[in-house]
Structure formats: structure tokens, C-alpha cells
Structure 1
């Protein structure tokens, strides 16, 4: 079953950064073997590591502060960053004749991770120099800690501007403005301290590909999902593809997506009176995308109605606020002294927590499909895009069944590519920030989005 929360708990306290050099040294030895044992990732390649090595050299020399903005397509990204910092960058530094100190970074991570991964993960992230943050609110304690580390920390700071992983190798989710704002705050704090170092945001692209296209595994997973979803009948008529095999597989994928969408539309209509979208596009894939967008909006509205929230901002913004609203009912300040509660008070508190967790289910469903489009596979029918989409549908089926979608099914051995992009000098934008903070942050967010998208390469270029 899924990790359902049925008990109210004390509040989620901030987990402070407590970097431990011996933990880093131990993990550097353990991580490669752990990665091969627990994941299907067998190789990590790095492009342009010398760019980051040069910036680390400047960092150690007091000639610049660094904010590493990495793409977040999958949970395995942590292994990619570890390989980049602990192996690829030091090697590139040696080749350039740079004397680099131990290459590492502080980082920002979601406070919710230890909830599903275990308390030990919070301890580990803290000892690796991580700062926990609650994504759905203005977490002033976490922001203050991250801001301090960026200005005077022992290492650069790393963060994922997408917020969470989106399951797509070739789509960058809309960026949140937190990373650009931190960069401008760093310039501001340096100025107050009469320091003139430049502040660089370094874009880091992360992508994965299957070493051997897992067509058979994709077909097998589709069969399992078809059986679990009760699908039968003929395949729909869709645009022609390069081969009959691809056309058949795409037809099955589309049929599964359309079937699940119809089931969920019926569910939300019967239980929550959600009406289907009025306009239907003649193009089947465009119609599917329109229906999905309408369904996700409706699912968020259901949760927002329960928590008495207004539907404000992007889908990601709405998800974050819903998550925080749920956490505030589950992790409560008035439960610090649980012994003071009577059994009846405890029972009522647990009921509130259980209901909040149930309403957050709608938000979790939406989170999985934030970056889904109706033509992603059709535009480039590669095994990697097929696999990404089938795995997202597998997540959806598991959540509907009341199961935990993780760990995901393994479709085959993969390799990763980490690409270091061109650093962005934020100090050069300081005059724009002084003129209009909002516009400067928005402009840097847009430029960073473009830079991360430019780092996406075709899988054949790995």
C-alpha cells in the first residue's frame, strides 16, 4: 500500500546543515557500488567538466561565489551530481593544472524527503551539507541558512530550480524563481559586506538514456497496465509512424492514456461534479492534452476546495500550497507535547491528519503529470520517450490502486549525461535588480530556463 498518513505528528522542524568530511569521504567510496546495486544506472558521462573546475578554482581563490542550478528529471540525479563533483571535476582540474581542494557542494533539499525515505536520510543530507526547505511556504529559516551558505559557505550551493523531478529527459518544467532570487540576495549580501566577488549561476543539464532500446520491456509493462486497467478493444486510428511495430505500440500507449483519462474524468464527474472540457479539438493528441489539462485543474480544485485555498498561480505553485496546507494539518505545532493530549483529542487529531493526507492524493496525482504534453512521443518516437511516458502512466495506475509508485519498474540498463553549461554572472545584472527586483528575477529565471533547455541533447549524441 501507499505510505498513507493516518496519525497526526509534531511539526516538521528545520534540519540544519552539519557538514561532516568523513561522511563525504565514506560516501565517495560507497556511492558507485551502491548505484550499480540499487539502480539500473551503469555509467555517467560528463560534458564540459573543465568549465566547473575553473569556477571551483576561482571559488577557492575568493574570486567568485557559485550557485549550481541542476536539472531534476529523476531520483537518480543525486548519483549524477556526486559523480560530477567527486570525480569528473577533480580530474578535469588536474588536467588543467588546478590545485583544487575537496570538490563538494552544499545543497537544498525538500524537507519531505525524510518522511518517505526515513529519518536516516535527513541525518545523511545534513552531514553532507544539505539544507532542508519546506517548498510550499516562505520557509524563512531555511532561506536564511541557504543565503548564509551561498555568501560564506565552505562550498558552493546546489539547487534544482524545477523544484521536483518531472520524469522527462527532454522537457524542462517551468522554473521556480527561488534560485535566481538567492543569486541576487548573494550579490546584495556581498555588497553589504564590502565584497566585490561575482556571483555565478552555473546551469547543469542531466539526461538519461537506455543503452539498448527496451522495446520488449515497454511492451510488457504496457500489457501489465492494460490488464490492470481492464482495457480491451481495437486500437485507435492515429498518425502513421515509421514502422508498423511503432504504430502498434503508440496505438496501445494512446489507448491506455485515453482509457485512464476517461476513467478519471468519470470519477471526478460522479464524485465532484467536474464537467468535461467544452471544446474538443479534431486532432486526437491535442484533444488528449486538453482533456488532461482540464482534469489536472479539476483535481487541484477538489483539494483546494477542501483546504479552502484559491486557485492562484501555476500548477506547480498550486501543488506547493496544497502540500503545505496538508502538512500544517498533519505536522502540528500544538502536538509538540503529545503526552498532554487525551485519547479523544488524539483521535480527532489523527482524523484531521488522515483526511488531509487523502485530499493531498489529488495533488500527488497532478504532480506526476505537470510536464506531460499530448505530442511528446509522437514528435520523436524514441524508446526513451516511450519509456518515460509509460512509466508516468504506471505511476498513475499505482496511485489509483492505492499503491506506492516507487521504486519504479526497471525497463533496462541506462546511462546518464551531465552537461555543464555557460555560467551566468549575476552581478552583471545588479543594476537591473535595483531598478526592479521582480523584473530582474523574472528575466534571470527566463534565461536560466533557456540555458537548461539548450543543454538537452539528442540521445544519439551521448
Structure 2
């Protein structure tokens, strides 16, 4: 969060412009980057023979396909690039399958990424064949680029149907229907061009596992979060785990108690924050109305997230409509509309008074988007994730999400997450879903066909966990 945001010209489209030299440089640097800048120590891929066959058919002009990958972590792009450019060619060679190089993919990215990661990222993504999209509005220019690449691009397409990272290895966020719609558009465009390629969507699962359980690092991080939130490790918080919840060790049981204690403490502080300063009446939930403390945390958390979104929606005059992800996207776009002004053709021609007012609006937009960013970090949080399976990965994911939240509130950089330990990445290629075979259904009812394909993709991604 910042208080010196100034009005900016509208966000221009960044056209994809694949550059083989830039790609080769990134391919060379990737192993070094993985070792030095990420916790990733090992990447494995299952069912690579499926991907080998798909690339072989693609390069023979028999199919067009889109890789739809799970997006639990910001490190996913590195894992996928390593898989496509290191593991895939190696496996193809072992099977005596000759693939044209490079085995790359055009990818769809959020236009907002270069805003927080740096403008050079927009240039880099362009040079790697990426194409941007505005998530919160009908982006005709972005969609036109995607359609063109899907039909005529040098490589297959790649995108995350979840739309953003959710911080969870074992939860798939509700996926957006855009991927299915893109598939049907590709079929339509191919038929219009009298081409016979089949269109497929290929689900890919990604999961991260700690090579050595980082319990000690987790304890230190929890202590830091307890201190930052004003909760003493010896506060006497009474949280008794349910009888059915079994732990391997006393250390896990204590960490579970501390984690939920911290969660309830932060929850109470945030509820008081929105009640006192934003005059919101959160629902009073009696512990007797739920079965256990985990369910109570879940219900209160969802009420808090809804309240935070309503505060932002009221500021931007955005109607409360859709699921949490839809609401976040609409608020993000509303904020951008106040900062990146499409209605101002030339900022240099504004009078000092007009410029000052425009800067004020941009600053307020940034402040109001802060509420949405908090919610965005917790889109997939259920409150029962660790309770259902108290693994070290689930402990770590939940603790890191709390770190994200406290870091945003402290006005720190949420993209500099602590690294708890070295990780192994497991990638699994799922069975392709044919879009072409659903064309008749699409002609009969576009909405139903898109919804059915979206649901089938959701199911396929969940089966890869």
C-alpha cells in the first residue's frame, strides 16, 4: 500500500513478439534461477508420454491445444518452463520421438503483473510469446490476440483456468469459463478457415512437497507472526483440537493449537477493525451453532471476507454480485479505471487543479483496492484445511497465507515470502479434453456447452491432486 500513487495513462496492450534469442537466454538461466531464487530443488513429471504425443500431433498440424495448469504458487511458471524445455525433450529422445525445437508454449498472463513486478516483465513476457488479458472487463484486444495465437500461433497455448495463485496444493479454486470459451472459439475459427485440426484442452496438475519437513522454520515463522500480531506465545489461548484429529507428534499438536490461536486472534482484530472504522455489523455466530472450532473459524472468516469486499464495492459503487473471485476481479478493474485513465487523452494538458484531483482519485483507488487484495489472498482458505489433513505442506501453506496478510497490513512486500525449506515439484499431465467433439452441443446451447466443459475441466484438475 502506498500514499503517493499518481494518475497514469491507460494501460496499453503489450503484443506478443516471440524472440528466439531471449528464449534461449531464459532457458540457459532457468536452472540457475531455480537454484538461487526459488525453493525448488527437484522437478518431476508424470505421463510425459501424453504431452510428447500432443506436441508431435501439434507439429504435424493435426491438433491445436491449450495447457490448462493448476496455479498453487508463483513458482509455477518456472516449473512448467523447465518441464517443457528440459524434461519433455529428454523424455521424447528416450522414446525415439523427434520433436521440433523449441517445445514451448504461448501463455496468457494478467495485464496487472507488470504493474507490481516491473515494466521489464511486460517486455520479457512479450519476448517469450506471452499475451496479456485484463481479468475484470471485456478485453477485446486481449481476446483477439488469444484467438489468433490459439489458431495460428507457433506453439500451443497455456493458461491457468483458476486465474491466479491460491496458495493451496490440494484445493482447486472455482475455475473461470474463459478457457472453455477460448476452446470453442478456436474450433469456430478453424472451421471458418476450412481447417481440420482437433482442438483439445490438457489439464496439468502441480504440487509442491518439502524434501525435509520444515517444522523448525514453521515454528520460527509462527513466533514472528504471533509477535507482529500482538499475540504472545504464552497467551493462554484455549483451543482444544477435536478428538478425531490425530497428530504424529506433540510438536504437531502444539503447532496446530498455535496456528488456530493465531488465526482466531487475527480474525477478531480484523472484525473489530471493520466494525469500528467502517461501521459494518458482522454476523454474530454462536459456537453452539457449529460442530467444532474449525467450522467456527471457517464461518467467521467467510463473513469477514464478504465484509471487506463490500467496503471496497461501496467505495467504487460496484454491485455485490458473483462469487468471491468475480467480485475481486471487478474491484481490481474498477481500481485500475481510476488510476489508469482511459478518459484522459493527454495527461500533460491537464491543469494543475485537474491533475491534483486526478492524482487524488488514483491514490484513493489504491487505498480501496487494499481491501480486495486482502481477500484475494484468502480466496481458497476454508478454515478447515489443516484440520482435514494436518500435513506439513498444509501447515506451511496456511501459515504463509497469514504471513501474506500481515505483510500487506504492515505495508511490506508480500511477494518476498519466506522460504521454509527446499521443495520437490510433482507435475502430472492429465487426459486431454476434446473441445471439437462438443461442437454440436455448443451450437445447440453455447452457455450449457461452456459450463459443461468448465465443470469437466474442474473435475479433471481435482483428480490430479
Same fold? TM cut 0.5: yes
Partner SS state of residue 9, structure 2 = coil
Q: Deviations over 1:119-165 (max 9, x none)?
A: 11000000000001111101110001101110111110100000000
Contact 1:5 1:357 in 2 (8 A): no
1:28-39 pair list within 5 angstroms? 28-39=27-38
2:50 — aligned with what?
Answer: 51
Checking the alignment, whether the CA contact within 8 Å between 2:2 and 2:367 is kept in structure 1 is no
Distance 1:213 1:76, change over 3 A: same
In structure 2, distance between residues paired with 1:147 and 1:319: 25
Q: Among residues 381, 384, 390, which one is paired with 1:375 in the alignment?
A: 384
- What is the CA deviation profile of residues 268-288 of structure 1, one whole-angstrom value per residue up to 9, with x for unaligned ones? 111122222244324111011
Shift of residue 62, structure 1, vs aligned partner: 0.7
Q: Equivalent of 1:306, from 305, 315, 318?
A: 315
Q: Which whole-Å CA distance do the structure 2 matches of 1:327 and 1:39 have between them? A: 30
In the alignment, is the contact (CA less than 8 A) between 1:54 and 1:93 conserved in 2? no
- Partners of 2:401 and 2:197 lie apart in 1 by 43
The SS at the match of 1:67 is strand
Deviation at 1:337, TM superposition (A): 2.1
| Contact 1:77–1:206 (Cα < 8 Å) also in 2 | yes
Equivalent residues in 2 for 1:176-195, closer than 5 Å: 176-195=176-195
Residues 401-420 of structure 1 mapped to structure 2, 5 A cutoff: 401-420=410-429
Matched, 1:227 2:236: no
Q: What is the aligned counterpart of 2:396 among 387, 401, 415?
A: 387
**Which of 228, 239, 259 pairs up with 2:242?**
239
Q: How far is 1:333 from its partner? A: 2.1
Partner Cα distance (2:403, 2:350) in 1: 41
Cα drift, residue 338 of structure 1: 2.2
Q: How does 1:183-332 map to 2 (within 5 A)?
A: 183-232=183-232, 233-235=235-237, 236-240=239-243, 241-242=246-247, 243-280=249-286, 281-332=290-341
**TM-superposed deviation, 1:26:** 1.1
Q: 1:455 to 1:407 in 2, by over 3 A?
A: same
| 8 Å contact kept, 2:211–2:422 | yes
Q: CA RMSD in A?
A: 1.2
- Tell me the secondary structure at the aligned position of residue 336 of structure 2: helix
Change (3 A) 1:67 1:5: farther
Alignment of 1:143-154 (within 5 A): 143-154=143-154
Secondary structure at 1:207's aligned position in 2? strand
The aligned residue for residue 460 of structure 1 is none
CA contact (8 A) 1:49 1:84 kept: no
Q: Is the 8 A contact 1:211 1:413 kept in 2?
A: yes
CA distance in 2, matches of 1:211, 1:321: 39
CA contact (8 A) 2:6 2:363 kept: yes
Distance of 2:104 and 2:300 partners within structure 1: 45
1:19 aligns to 2:18 (yes or no): yes
**Corresponding residue to 2:358 among 345, 349, 354:** 349
**Match of 1:449?**
458
1:115 counterpart = 2:94 = no
- Aligned length in residues: 455
TM-score (norm. length: structure 2):
0.96
Q: Which runs of 5+ in 1 are unaligned?
A: 457-462
User: Helix, strand or coil: the match of 1:407?
Assistant: coil
**Equivalence for 2:95:** 96
Aligned-pair distance for 1:97? Answer: 2.3
Q: Kindly indicate whether the alpha-carbon contact (under 8 Å) linking 2:10 and 2:342 is maintained by their aligned counterparts in 1.
A: yes
Q: Is the 8 A contact 2:242 2:292 kept in 1?
A: no
2:437 pairs with 1:435: no
Matches of 2:135 and 2:231, distance apart in 1: 38
Shift of 1:93: 1.8
Q: What's 2:132 paired with? A: 132
Deviation at 1:371, TM superposition (A): 0.3
Alpha-carbon contact 1:5-1:353 (below 8 Å) kept: no
Of the structure 1 ranges 30-39 and 363-372, higher mean CA displacement relative to structure 2 is found in 30-39
1:175-211 CA-to-partner distances (Å, cap 9, x unmatched) read 0011111001111111111112110101111111111
Distance 2:211 2:451 in 1: 38
Residue 82 of structure 1 aligns to a residue whose secondary structure is: helix
User: Paired residue for 1:459?
Assistant: none
Instruction: List per-residue Cα deviations over 1:84-127 (Å, max 9, x = no partner).
Output: 11011112222232221111110100111111111110000000
- Is residue 340 of structure 1 aligned with residue 343 of structure 2? no
Within 2, Cα distance between the matches of 1:334 and 1:191? 38
